Amino acid sequence: MKIDFNNVDLSNLNSYKEKSLEAFSSLMNKDGEGNDFLGWIDRANNLDMEEYERIKKASKKIQGNSDCLVTIGIGGSYLGTKAVDYAMKGYFPKSDKTELIYAGYQISGEYLYELLDYLKEKEFSINVISKSGTTTEPAIAFRFVKELLEEKYGKEEAKERIFVTTDRQKGALKDLADKEGYETFVVPDDIGGRFSVISAVGLLPLCAAGIDIDKFVAGFRKGIENFTKDSFEENEAIQYAAIRNMLHEDGKDIEVLVNYEPKLKYVSEWWKQLFAESEGKDGKGIFPVSVNNTTDLHSVGQMIQDGKRNLFETVIKVQKADKDLTIKEDSENLDGLNYLAGRDMSFVNEKAMEGTIIAHVKGQVPNILLTIDDVSSESLGELFYFFEIVVGVSGYMLGVNPFNQPGVEEYKTQMFKLLGKPGY
């Protein structure tokens, strides 16, 4: 992975260097706010190997008896999984592998109705994931999907098909799992939801879907090696955090994450949650948005080029396309495309990216270019870890606790009042 800041004016960067190093040192020394939620920093070098083996064993069992694994969770309990799964499974999967189907990440009755209908014809298992064990969206979905599972297989076999990932000791889901005898996996106490893809939260469903979790973990380990270096010059995560904060103080309130490989669409969704829930508090924060190009160049591209100059971009470039096509010569050339004959699609896409960067930089949109080798579980693991370190440093520089999410409670309180939940 490499990062290029050539399209940012760095003349003021020196004044952010010290602050970014202080923030980084608070993160590494675990003496800043939210320091009881920093278990993710060295988790990949510190896995619970007994649980890791159980994850592999449970995945084999799921693969052996299920067409689908219904992965029930919201926010950090599903976005990392979805990001890797979506990037790795291909646009038109023809695979005989166990498919991950997501539920409990919204409250649509239509979605659940159609899901239950779809599942009737399928062999399936459930992985319900909630750190608190009390979140409404997954709790409702679990109630419905479990009912169907029990109807289909009977209560005893259903127990063999339900896997619960939750707190080690507490919460409604933990109590339910213990009472019913479901196999449980742990969301570690010191890892918050949006940092939890490196725990059983992400590893179990990804492994069940046939993704190489050893490589995913190896990517995180590479991240630890590269982005925990205590040196501004050698650590691009510290540099990036410093530059984001410099741009923000210069009036850039929005960061746009851009990809030219739409397989990364849910990586952007994961990234949005990571940055929004970590930084957006106390009236502060850089608003994270994302675009998939070139699709969105024909949509919000206009705004990026020409709208209010309050944004900067981070572009993710994939160095090596896994699959490619070469444009052929056409004897009639009625579409006028022969000037591209002999060119690969990846070449055309790269020129679209380079052209867009030139245009946006000309339009006063500072541009950061982040290159990953390929779309593999290893590269994604390293990328995730990079952004996690960045958000920790960046949040501390901003003066917020990046590891809580107090604002998420407000909608719940209002919703529970309207729903008549006891105690509200």
Residues lying near ligand PA5 in the complex (CB under 6 A): 74-77, 130-132, 135, 138, 192-194, 277, 405, 408
Considering the candidates 30, 56, 272, 412, report the single residue annotated as catalytic. Answer: 412
Check if 412 is active-site.
yes
Shortest distance in whole angstroms from residue 259 CB to ligand PA5? 22
Q: Based on CB atoms, which residue is closest to ligand PA5, 32 or 34?
A: 34
Looking at the Cβ atoms of 269 and 296, the one nearer to ligand PA5 is 269
Query: How far, in Å, CA of 138 to CA of 107, rounded?
Result: 9
Closer to ligand PA5 by Cβ: residue 82 or 252: 82
Sequence-ordered list of residues with C-beta below 8 angstroms from that of 407, at least 6 positions apart, any chain: 280, 281
Whether 240 contacts 368, CB under 8 Å: yes
Q: Do 256 and 309 contact (CB within 8 A), yes or no?
A: no
Q: Could you give the CA distance from residue 368 to residue 97 in angstroms, rounded to a whole number?
A: 37
Tokens coding 258: 């851009």
- Beta bridge partners, 125, equal 69
Smallest distance, ligand PA5 to C-beta of residue 160, A: 24
CA 342 to chain centroid: 36
Quote the least distance from Cβ 412 to ligand PA5, whole Å: 9
Q: Which is nearer to ligand PA5, 165 or 376 (CB)?
A: 165
Active site residue 155: no
Angle at 113 between CA 109 and CA 117, to 5 degrees: 170
Return the DSSP state at 326.
B
Annotated active-site residue 360? The verdict is: no
Contact 258, 293 (CB under 8 A): yes
Considering the complex, what minimum distance in angstroms separates the CB of residue 253 from ligand PA5?
A: 22
Write down the least CB distance from residue 23 to ligand PA5, Å: 20
Q: Give the count of beta carbons closer than 10 Å to the beta carbon of residue 1.
A: 19
Q: Which of 99, 255, 261, 277 is flagged as catalytic?
A: 277
Residue of 298, 308, 323, 362 with catalytic role: 298
Min dist. Cβ of residue 45 to ligand PA5 (A): 22
Q: Which is nearer to ligand PA5, 74 or 145 (CB)?
A: 74
Rounded distance between C-alpha atoms, residue 290 and residue 269, angstroms: 8
Beta bridge partners of 184: 164
CB closer to ligand PA5 out of 1 and 141: 141
Contacts for 18 with CB less than 8 Å, ≥ 6 apart = none
Catalytic residues: 277, 298, 412
